[in-house]
Structure 1
């Protein structure tokens, strides 16, 4: 490019245009990246967010301020206009963590915008005031016009960036960090401080479900799938109660309408009842399958979206791409450094207070102030005090300065006359205690930081449970599932029941207009309506659907009357009650306790055995009770006496007679549901308390009832009828020990998940899970230094006996393993009844001194 023709004006110089655009563009790109779009890794804020928070702290007086006033004050620091500040502030306010809002701040579910800034108000939350600000540890810089000071980074003592998430588009790059759960972030920080590994997954305000199989710790190239939560209200209606992150009810409904117009799904109409919570009703066209419609909604609408995280942050004034774990470690280490600086500042202030208080005590106690009575000059006064102090300052921690002496001269006569030596010494002693405490915290900084995080969780984490359910999504083309009814759950430990407790124990399916009956260990009974979440008290022992005037369901009960009273037995029905009123089935006696309970839908009467505590006066320590011998009486009846002596436990000896015949159940893998119509694989004939066993590849075994309404959303390595005596075999690799281990165990009869593999190390893995009686494997060893060891065939049933589910197991081999092959199991035949050994077929109690059982051969 040609040079410009030079002018003859003085002071002007010639420049080439070539290269100027490149310099200006790089300057502009750097400015946008550093000053507008990308957050700092230390405090988690973009510049506009940081300036909003600083401005709000500047105006903080405990009362709400008009957002318009806050925006106006923030413009002293942010030079990009009020609209940018207002939008950023609304986004912060909608996240509900740092800003306490008042007025219409919009709705993250519907996408509705906030009211104008002059109509809404805000103030800082208590959490923000405690965690974000500390002028003593803040690094300051001049604002853009040089008139004010603003923070370079706010001293945030929490992984705020990961808690709130952030999105930004700069020149040449962008950032997208997803929000994570408050309590899980604190737990992860504590794990990091303790040197343990941790895993973090996103959690969204909008709830929903996420598949994090490809999350990749939030790095570039990762991906998560997010689904709306869809339930079936009835055969013609679906309800969407939670929506995917990044969508709103408007965009979701629009995508459903478009899919319907394109013929991808068939619906009658869609109804939006969203208010505080999401409530979208999808009314199906006649003859439309709810199962297929749910799958179609995930496949062709915004009911399922895919999000790719991209964690770009500013580190040391440069953009860097990090993982979520790296960001949390940086935030946690920064918190430790900030806590250390705060302690050092506090220590310095306490030592200054101790120094001056000690000087003041010496000055007054030794009447050094009298030494200045004859002095006529200021220099003489200073010198006299200095000389008077010297005999008494040997214990001080630093030298006495002229500033210290000047402060002594400013003590008023009234203070000297009322000076109390004992109180002064007590104050000095208290300062020494505080100094020792601060010094202790500095010497144990990691423990202090852990306690700080634990305090934050206890104080602010109570209502911040996970909203987004983590699960593995099925392939829509292969698995067509649907919810037939409302599922009911219970949290037996905390005392909650309801339809929304999907993380707790699943009980049954019921109608949303049903009544639920529940019994507690203390003998209290209550009937309540089905609801999302209801607190009915801790120590729940039974929850079921209750029908009014139900005389078929019979409850068999053994209970202790009072804290140390006798033990009674009873049978009763519950035919009529007042809803939500508590009733006692133990005669209203305090400290009573139910020792045995069963609910029998067809009046079954089992036989149980009551085991008494050892007592020298008792010859018989076991009592058999046949409930069939008891009459069914009213709920308030006291019952029949069992024993006056303390009971150790009650065991089921014989199942009650059932009028229900065994039912054949099949599993249809196409829709992953049970049926009784012969579709799919026959699981077996079920009756009574029979259950279905599932085992996941992550090492979790779980028992399920055989109700046809059950859904098996996940893929399982095992799904079969459960045989309690049949052991499970697991071969797994322990990375810390660099060895393969084998364990064999049986399960407890509970519907709760039972974990048998919980190594947190990501390098450990499960090699094989088998439910065969006699599994067999072949071990192929690695070739080491040219030597190839012969492979070995191992009968795992002979290799290890059945142990507890939490046992480590036995080491498979000490040699380096290349591969483990699963061979066909050895056939196993259960012994026929006539081939069973005849020993131990009858039970007799021993003599009074034997304290045990005697097993007698039937032939003898």
Structure 2
């Protein structure tokens, strides 16, 4: 490798193309660097594919096996013993051992080993104790099939690799930074690894995903099998404790409660979110209470925690291992295949050794029986030499050894001479035969396992799962995350001001006009009287152009904010009308909303968040023979186009003034909203269940299992309670029917009600601990089925159907309701509702089609506004 590093152009100090000076590393620097890099990669940072251990971990396990007597050893003692094999300081060995002990797999710990949740460190190694776990003793050691090498000082032998019969690297995970490369293998679930190994042995496909000891939620859609270039997103588990408190019960991998709290406080200090205080109640389980100021949305704060803090972290895996003393970049699926195949091979080697030992035992037991049963030991009484003794025994055996599976060797004859007289005198032929038959059964069993090695390996893995899999279920929940737009969840922690005349906007202009609350990550959109538009980032003070007529926070890809505008084309030119949206622009670039003639001026401008189209009165100057000095213009007659469209000609005459005559309604079609049950979020992208088409005043109805009912505006950032059982578009005149078991009165009640105050969250069942909501329906005419318990010594009563509309009239939400049944029912089923004809809704306003086209506006005919193209007719 070092020879290939030479460069024939070493004397050329400068690269002619780049102008940079290149210094080549040669001689001792080159050789020593490569030696150092190889040492760090192979001996310190990167685990071996064979057993999943780094050298220090392997030596710790070997030392613990040396010291193992079933009792706990001081960690300091284990560290000192490991230094016989590991040529480094005690601190690095102790740190590696603590990290392994915290994974609760190979080491049985005693004492204070720290807390991975809080980040608290372990006690000093002289105070804590450890021993090998039963799992480690089961899967790590098998001296007869272990390859050994001399330790660094040559005094002892250490294993080159431990014969690990389990995908240990994937179970523990590994992370290391070497020279020129690094590795990051994430931990996987113990039970899932065993299941995947079984599937591989069965020839089936499998898929494994990481599982973290800190639990949390994770999106593995871009995991890429743990190879370089993959990425996963891990989130804390955050829920709403009450309207002013959030609770974090699980944290992302790579974080601790201490680091997470510090990170949240920093985000709060920077104004990314707003919190009142934080409590850390973590012990064996994570519990971080985040107290919010009054009036702050918990949903929005949860989104802000994910967007601006380490409540969501991104982890990039990198599967790098050592194979045959070389780095190998490989995915986790291939790691598992290699490990499983190696386990199968190790099991084969153990069986072959066991078979050889059993056959040797059978061979000697058979010789012993022949030797004693045929009294061959008497043949040596007359022999005076050692060779004569061995020869006499060999000759005595020959007539009886035809059934043996291998020839008799000198070692066999020597062993026969070592049999004591006491053993010969007490020899029991029947017991000897039983022992030989038992050995034959064992040999047959081992041969069967070797012939069916795959089945044997599968049974081995299943036994590991049965013995050690309890309590090792998956902790990290697999989810698909929706992308959180920072601009939608950021706390508006500063105020935006404008100096319209001078053309400045910013957060430091406190003496000027206040515009809105904003965040430092926001963009703002500005329109000037000359018809120039610009989008720029929020700053302390920015010049955008004199005579500002509109300024607001800019929402990217917003098609529902519609701008209505009338402008004069140049000095003394005609007046044009246009409606447009702004979905995307280049920041800090000026865009002309007019035709671009010098002297153009905006005469009327409005920004409408839901596409409202007002009616304005246009007053003309009394110049020449104009008969009609006033006309009304309805913006709903103007099509919505792109921002570059010139618009329709309104009038060629000089305009004196324009006044608002009538506020308008939205001309946009209702917005379709879906609910994606996978991520528990609303969306407008067609994912999940369609909830309906929503106009500006429409709301969502939510009912939970606790008997809570409320309506909300359908905001896409809303988060939903896991107890939610009803989510649909709210129809105010559609009754809600409910049957519940009242814990106070111990009987069923049924009620029907309408929501009278849509802004208020209400509970429609009693607050007794035993109260249970059984059925809730939003059908107009629901029907339920009562299923009775079988009475003692009687047949079961037939099921009974009840028409709820006939049973009870609509009452107030706070009413108790009518008594439904006094005894406990086996079940209450909701049947198909009775037919109902809804009253036809009023005809909607005429729909105006949205368009992003940059072409001219198609003219709309009106009493006052007519057109034959973009120029239109004149007034």
Per the TM superposition, whether the score is higher than 0.5 is: yes
CA deviation digits over 1:393-452, x for unaligned, max 9?
010000000110000000011100110000000000000000000000000000000000
Q: Distance in 2 between matches of 1:247 and 1:289?
A: 26
1:335 and 1:480, CA in 2 relative to 1: closer, same or farther beyond 3 A? same
Q: Distance in 2 between matches of 1:356 and 1:171?
A: 57
Q: Which residue of 2 aligns with 1:642?
A: 795
1:364 and 1:74, CA in 2 relative to 1: closer, same or farther beyond 3 A? same
1:418 and 1:130, CA in 2 relative to 1: closer, same or farther beyond 3 A? same
Unaligned segments of structure 2, at least 5 residues: 1-24, 491-676, 678-702, 709-721, 724-738, 751-765, 812-827, 836-875
Q: Distance in 2 between matches of 1:283 and 1:547?
A: 34
Q: Which residue of 2 aligns with 1:548?
A: 743
Q: Distance in 1 between matches of 2:330 and 2:66?
A: 33
1:236 and 1:164, CA in 2 relative to 1: closer, same or farther beyond 3 A? same
Q: Is the CA contact (8 Å cut-off) linking 1:510 and 1:545 kept in structure 2?
A: no
Q: Which residue of 2 aligns with 1:281?
A: 289
Q: Distance in 1 between matches of 2:319 and 2:40?
A: 17
Query: Is 1:371 the counterpart of 2:379 in the alignment?
Result: yes
Deviation of 1:477 after TM superposition, in Å, equals 2.6
Query: Is 1:441 the counterpart of 2:456 in the alignment?
Result: no
The one of 188, 196, 202 equivalent to 2:204 is 196
Q: Is the CA contact (8 Å cut-off) linking 1:295 and 1:476 kept in structure 2?
A: yes
Q: Distance in 2 between matches of 1:658 and 1:307?
A: 59
1:447 and 1:653, CA in 2 relative to 1: closer, same or farther beyond 3 A? farther
Deviation of 1:207 after TM superposition, in Å, equals 0.3
1:282 and 1:547, CA in 2 relative to 1: closer, same or farther beyond 3 A? farther
Deviation of 1:642 after TM superposition, in Å, equals 2.9
Query: Is 1:295 the counterpart of 2:303 in the alignment?
Result: yes
The CA RMSD over aligned residues, in Å, is 3.6
Q: Distance in 1 between matches of 2:740 and 2:282?
A: 30
Q: Which residue of 1 aligns with 2:329?
A: 321
Q: Distance in 2 between matches of 1:511 and 1:146?
A: 75
Q: Distance in 2 between matches of 1:181 and 1:162?
A: 8
1:349 and 1:278, CA in 2 relative to 1: closer, same or farther beyond 3 A? same
Deviation of 1:641 after TM superposition, in Å, equals 2.9
Deviation of 1:363 after TM superposition, in Å, equals 0.3
Q: Is the CA contact (8 Å cut-off) linking 2:740 and 2:775 kept in structure 1?
A: no
Q: Is the CA contact (8 Å cut-off) linking 2:782 and 2:831 kept in structure 1?
A: no
The one of 223, 229, 232 equivalent to 1:221 is 229
Q: Distance in 1 between matches of 2:225 and 2:358?
A: 44
CA deviation digits over 1:98-151, x for unaligned, max 9?
001111111101111100000000011100000111111111000000001100
Deviation of 1:42 after TM superposition, in Å, equals 1.2
Aligned pairs for 1:605-624 (under 5 A) are none
CA deviation digits over 1:17-60, x for unaligned, max 9?
95121111111110111111100011100000000000001101
Q: Distance in 1 between matches of 2:704 and 2:467?
A: 35
Deviation of 1:288 after TM superposition, in Å, equals 0.4
1:370 and 1:107, CA in 2 relative to 1: closer, same or farther beyond 3 A? same
Aligned pairs for 1:267-278 (under 5 A) are 267-278=275-286
- Asked which structure has the greater CA Rg, the reply is 2
Q: Which residue of 1 aligns with 2:581?
A: none
Q: Distance in 1 between matches of 2:330 and 2:830?
A: 51
Q: Is the CA contact (8 Å cut-off) linking 1:554 and 1:601 kept in structure 2?
A: no
Q: Distance in 2 between matches of 1:277 and 1:414?
A: 65
Q: Which residue of 2 aligns with 1:255?
A: 263
Aligned pairs for 1:1-12 (under 5 A) are none
Q: Which residue of 2 aligns with 1:427?
A: 435
Q: Which residue of 1 aligns with 2:63?
A: 55
The one of 327, 336, 340 equivalent to 2:344 is 336
Deviation of 1:547 after TM superposition, in Å, equals 5.2
Q: Secondary structure at the match of 1:30?
A: helix
CA deviation digits over 1:599-628, x for unaligned, max 9?
5689x99886xxxxxxxxxxxxxxxxx88x
CA deviation digits over 1:786-831, x for unaligned, max 9?
xxxxxxxxxxxxxxxxxxxxxxxxxxxxxxxxxxxxxxxxxxxxxx
Deviation of 1:205 after TM superposition, in Å, equals 0.4
Q: Secondary structure at the match of 1:313?
A: strand
Q: Which residue of 2 aligns with 1:751?
A: none
Q: Which residue of 1 aligns with 2:494?
A: none
The one of 388, 402, 405 equivalent to 2:396 is 388
Q: Distance in 1 between matches of 2:707 and 2:194?
A: 39
Query: Is 1:415 the counterpart of 2:423 in the alignment?
Result: yes
Q: Which residue of 2 aligns with 1:164?
A: 172
Q: Secondary structure at the match of 1:179?
A: coil
Q: Secondary structure at the match of 1:186?
A: helix
The one of 180, 186, 189 equivalent to 2:188 is 180
Q: Secondary structure at the match of 1:230?
A: strand
The one of 111, 116, 128 equivalent to 1:108 is 116
Q: Distance in 2 between matches of 1:422 and 1:143?
A: 50
Unaligned segments of structure 1, at least 5 residues: 1-16, 482-486, 488-506, 513-529, 532-543, 556-574, 580-596, 609-625, 664-686, 692-720, 724-860
Q: Distance in 1 between matches of 2:386 and 2:286?
A: 78
1:379 and 1:22, CA in 2 relative to 1: closer, same or farther beyond 3 A? same
Aligned pairs for 1:64-103 (under 5 A) are 64-103=72-111
Q: Which residue of 1 aligns with 2:733?
A: none
Q: Distance in 2 between matches of 1:300 and 1:578?
A: 39
Q: Distance in 1 between matches of 2:412 and 2:194?
A: 44
Q: Distance in 1 between matches of 2:705 and 2:475?
A: 22
Q: Distance in 1 between matches of 2:460 and 2:188?
A: 20
Give the aligned length: 537
Q: Secondary structure at the match of 2:239?
A: strand
1:113 and 1:661, CA in 2 relative to 1: closer, same or farther beyond 3 A? farther
Q: Secondary structure at the match of 2:187?
A: coil
Q: Secondary structure at the match of 1:180?
A: coil
1:53 and 1:268, CA in 2 relative to 1: closer, same or farther beyond 3 A? same
Q: Secondary structure at the match of 2:794?
A: strand
Q: Secondary structure at the match of 1:328?
A: helix
1:655 and 1:354, CA in 2 relative to 1: closer, same or farther beyond 3 A? farther
Q: Which residue of 1 aligns with 2:354?
A: 346
Q: Which residue of 2 aligns with 1:122?
A: 130
